[in-house]
Structure 1
Amino acid sequence: MGAFIRSKPAGYGIAVLAALAAWALRLMLNDWFPPGFPYLTFFPAVVITAYFAGLRPAILCAVLSGVAAWYYFIPPYRTFHINFSTSVALAFYAFVVVIDIFFIDGMRRALRLLEEERARYAALAESRDLLYRELHHRVSNNIQVVGSLLRLQAAGMADEDARHALNEAGGRIALIASIQRELHNAVGEPAPFRAFAEGVLNEASQAAGARVLLTIDGGDQPLHPDQATPVTLVMLESFNNALEHGFGEARSGQVRVDLDQSGETHVLTVRDDGAGPPDGFDPTQSKSLGLRIVRAMAQQLNGKFEMTREGAWTVCRLSYAPRAE
């Protein structure tokens, strides 16, 4: 499309040059051609002009070529004598060039419309992506505002339990806002789990004032949009459990996160080398808000959550079936 001649004077110039070039080439090859082929070099000139310059320049090229062929290459030569055979030859030439110009000009129009449609769809796609990013940004900000309002409300509460509950709720809502921001990259595409998990966990570690040696393996694929928030919440609650109960006041240790997405069942594993749960601890019976959230998220995923002690490591493991896009 970029090779099409847009300027009318340039298009007519192409038509004249093409006709002259066809005439010169036909004149040079005249001794090589048998009688009866006066238009052999002129047809390509008309086709090329129609493709690159459009309808009217093509008509001009066709007229110039027809006149040149009639005068120089149709007997009696160098005259405009007309008889039956000349009339048949000119009619044949006119028929062929009309068909050529008709189809090539139609093709040009179709390509031009296609180019315009592509430009329109590209503009719509850009507008859609912009609106999506803006919506995503506003949703995250609104969730963040809700969390901040809860914390402000907590500051004015006299009851210690109520204040603690509101602070926890505000913190977790702010956490969901952080997850929403990290789930997509700068152009609105889903980010691989590994990419945003590292940022979310480092942010949580800094907020708690902990010194954690963090290792993340697997998770090279994005999470399904319906599963991203519950999976990430399970990871974060397991991580916070390690900070609060595993590492205690030291606030330092190792945490290893792994998301295996290779099988029919995806497995998220969070290990820490802190103090393990007490003997006889049953996470399914715990009244801890964090573990209740984890159980609710596992139920939402139709998955299974386990907490075990394996050697020197406390292991939190979530198994769930991935959803198809």
Structure 2
Amino acid sequence: MNALIRGKVGGYVFAILATLLAWALRYALNDWFPPGFPYLTFFPAVVITAYFAGLRPSILCAVLSGVTAWYFFIPPLHTLSVNFPTTVALAFYAFVVAVDVFFIDGMKKALRQLEEERARYAALAESRDLLYRELHHRVSNNLQVVGALLRLQGAGIHDEDARHALDEAGGRIELIAKIQRELHNAVGDPAPFRTFAEVVLAGAAAAAGAKIVLTIEGGEEPLHADQATPVTLVMLESFNNALEHGFGEGGAGRVQVTLDQSGLTHVLTVRDDGAGPPEGFDPARSKSLGLRIVRAMAQQLGGKFEMARENGWTVCRLSYAPKRD
């Protein structure tokens, strides 16, 4: 309907109809109004026309309303005589409708500009999100390709240690690529830690062929973008350590992963009921690549990593201060 009114003909038809309606209403109420109010029903007609039909139809409505009120309701009636009181009344009418039309038209232009700006910003936001998701996807794919190339390179090396090192490096790079894919949901929003931790850990357990009863608690909020990868790597290295050393190949057991995000310091805890480290084991002095990665990630986070045996469970605990946007 609004589009029909805004047409070249529709707006002017609306202005004429609004004038006729204002005249009919003013004529019907003529006996109820005291002298001196010839324009009382015509002001709303001009305002409504300005709002719904636009500037030019409102000017037409104002002119028609002014002439109609002058002819029918300003003495001497049914004439268009000009005298001082008539001139004052017409000047007052012209001033009021000019102000009404000016402000309403200005308001509508401002609203249209605001709508256009909102649409433009919405398009920019959508474009930004699309570019971000595409960039995120490409980075993840490129990391996966690098990991695969390292594994392929390692397959052609006869030295067992070098082949194993390249294979481990490729696997960890592919792991980082998987983390990057899982950190965000389908629409590009950061995923809660618990959501992508379930996917990543389930995949790691399946790849190792372990029969694990996995429990994940906490982590209802997303991780900060700068901390997501190191925190997840610490979790995965602790989890893989439990699979490799706690349960052994094809072993079974329980693993509990908890991320407490309630305090000023966030605490990631990975527990397993496997065999545990040997007596006198010091993770700070271990030459294991996994534990060296964990220590490096903890240092990057400005946090602390601990590993201990508590009540028959091997407990790996990472404490760090979260970043705020």
**Which TM-score band (shorter chain)?**
over 0.9
Give 2:242's aligned residue.
242
- Gaps in structure 2 of 5+ consecutive residues: none
Tell me how far apart the structure 2 counterparts of residues 323 and 186 of structure 1 sit (CA, whole Å): 24
1:128 and 2:139 equivalent? no
Give 2:27's aligned residue.
27
Amino acid at match of 2:270: V
Amino acid at match of 1:153: Q
Written as runs of structure 1 = structure 2, the 5 A alignment for 1:253-292 is: 253-292=253-292
Contact persistence 2:4–2:10 (CA under 8 A): no
Tell me how far apart the structure 2 counterparts of residues 232 and 166 of structure 1 sit (CA, whole Å): 21
Shift of 1:13: 1.9
Tell me how far apart the structure 1 counterparts of residues 4 and 303 of structure 2 sit (CA, whole Å): 60
Query: What do residues 117-151 of structure 1 show as CA deviations (whole Å, max 9, x unaligned)?
Result: 11111111111111000000000000000000000
Give 1:100's aligned residue.
100
SS in 1 for 2:249: helix
Contact persistence 2:210–2:249 (CA under 8 A): no
1:59 and 2:30 equivalent? no
Give 1:323's aligned residue.
323
Amino acid at match of 1:289: L
Shift of 1:8: 2.3
Contact persistence 1:72–1:78 (CA under 8 A): yes
Give 1:215's aligned residue.
215
RMSD between aligned residues: 1.2
Amino acid at match of 2:91: A
Give 1:227's aligned residue.
227
1:167 and 2:206 equivalent? no
Query: What do residues 186-239 of structure 1 show as CA deviations (whole Å, max 9, x unaligned)?
Result: 111111100111001011111111121111000011111111111000000000
Shift of 1:5: 4.0
Shift of 1:92: 1.3
Contact persistence 1:3–1:52 (CA under 8 A): no
Shift of 1:3: 8.1
- Gaps in structure 1 of 5+ consecutive residues: none
Aligned residues: 324
Amino acid at match of 2:202: N
Contact persistence 2:256–2:271 (CA under 8 A): yes
Written as runs of structure 1 = structure 2, the 5 A alignment for 1:291-302 is: 291-302=291-302
SS in 2 for 1:249: coil
Contact persistence 2:208–2:250 (CA under 8 A): no
Tell me how far apart the structure 2 counterparts of residues 122 and 209 of structure 1 sit (CA, whole Å): 47
Give 2:112's aligned residue.
112
Shift of 1:177: 0.3
Tell me how far apart the structure 2 counterparts of residues 233 and 260 of structure 1 sit (CA, whole Å): 17
Q: 4+ runs of 1 displaced by more than 2 Å?
A: 2-6
Contact persistence 1:4–1:51 (CA under 8 A): no
Give 2:150's aligned residue.
150
TM-score (norm 1): 0.97
Written as runs of structure 1 = structure 2, the 5 A alignment for 1:198-209 is: 198-209=198-209
Amino acid at match of 1:183: L
